[in-house]
Amino acid sequence: MISGNSQELASAYLSHVATERRLSPLTCKSYARDIAVLVKLAQSLPLDQLQIHNIRRFSAQLHGNGFSGRSLSRMLSAWRGFYKYLTRDHGFDSNPCAGVRAPKSPKPLPHTLSPDEAAKLLESSMGDDPMAVRDKAMFELCYSSGLRLAELTDMKPEDLSLSDGTARVTGKGGKTRIVPVGSKAIQAVGEWIKQREGLMRPGASALFLSRYGKNISRRSIAQRLKDHAVRQGINVNVHPHVLRHSFASHLLQSSGDLRAVQEMLGHANISTTQVYTHLDFQHLSKVYDAAHPRARKKEKG
């Protein structure tokens, strides 16, 4: 537990990122965990006395305890942001986390469905009861527009313009973007909106509702998608982010326009989007190996 002055500083910072920077509750919770780790490692040493060698030692200690390079990079980023705030608003002399980098670890490529698997998942019949109509609309919209789970859950009816084929999405950091919505998703969402009217209960504001007329939870969406994928014989763990990854990969394969994919995904940095070029290259490599006469393996005579 963070205690004493450290608790006050951490609370002030978390209030700052929540109210002034308007970061999401999940991001604030992640920052709180990371800062708690820093204070625990510091033990009795005050935060304003930590030096760069302390931070490097903490990083090495966490790495030795099994933290991946990716986890450490995220944690160091949180620590740097915390100290940047402390130097600006609380008179700290320096940021001991500046210049400290996490050990590199290989980046796993995101899992995607093949176009055939995506079609199998979405074109199969889900039934005509209200919950099946809702599920069809959720999954089509998620894949059609590359939405994050939180973006799908938080979407409201007024965020959609079915006549224009667009949706207004509020992503990370409260940033808003406009994304296109495909014809199949427009049709599916239109069918759901007809059902939604009779289900909605007081206090419900989300586009997608539970069977009890309340805003649907993220966990429910993820479980419904997983169950549907199993019924369709898709033998991988299909969760909403797999639909987002599949959207990005399939769009990039078809268009080759990395900047457009970046904009539709709401990525702040194109380096985040570039991971999908590796998936696209894998696809091209398979096509090459199968088709190019100089790439084919010699058949045994």
Catalytic residue at 224?
no
Number of structural domains in the chain: 2
| 274 falls within a domain | no
pLDDT digits (tens, 9 = 90+) for 1-42: 333 487 788 889 999 999 999 989 999 999 999 999 998 898
What pLDDT tens digit does each residue of the chain (301 aa) get? 333 487 788 889 999 999 999 989 999 999 999 999 998 898 888 898 999 999 999 999 998 888 888 889 999 999 999 999 999 989 898 899 998 988 776 666 678 898 999 999 998 888 889 999 999 999 999 999 999 999 999 999 999 999 999 999 999 888 899 999 999 999 999 999 999 988 999 999 999 999 999 999 999 999 999 999 999 999 889 999 999 999 988 888 888 888 888 988 988 888 878 777 765 555 545 544 565 555 555 444 4
CATH number, residue 193: 1.10.443.10
Catalytic residue at 31?
no
Q: Among residues 217, 240, 263, which one ends one of the domains?
A: 240
Please check whether residue 288 is in contact with residue 281, taking contact to mean a CB–CB distance below 8 angstroms.
no
pLDDT given for residue 6 in this prediction: 78
Cα→Cα distances 261→24, 118, 274, Å: 23, 18, 10
Catalytic position from the list 16, 172, 177, 214: 172
Judge if 41 and 148 occupy the same domain. Answer: no
Q: What is this structure's pTM?
A: 0.61
| 183 falls within a domain | yes
Q: CA-to-CA distance for 76 and 52, rounded, in angstroms?
A: 12
pLDDT digits (tens, 9 = 90+) for 171-215: 988 889 999 999 999 999 999 999 998 899 999 999 999 999 999
Judge if 54 and 152 occupy the same domain. Answer: no
| 299 falls within a domain | no
Catalytic residue at 267?
yes
Q: Among residues 240, 260, 290, which one ends one of the domains?
A: 240
Catalytic residue at 296?
no
Catalytic residue at 276?
yes
Residue 290: CA atoms inside 13 Å, Cβ hemisphere, count? Answer: 6
Domain hosting residue 215, numbered range: 115-240
| 21 falls within a domain | yes
Catalytic residue at 136?
no
Residues recorded for the chain: 301
Judge if 127 and 85 occupy the same domain. Answer: no
Please check whether residue 188 is in contact with residue 134, taking contact to mean a CB–CB distance below 8 angstroms.
no
Q: CA-to-CA distance for 301 and 172, rounded, in angstroms?
A: 58
Would you tell me how many other CB atoms lie within 10 Å of the CB of residue 3? 8
Catalytic position from the list 134, 148, 196, 245: 148
Catalytic position from the list 196, 244, 245, 250: 244
Judge if 129 and 83 occupy the same domain. Answer: no
| 182 falls within a domain | yes
| 233 falls within a domain | yes
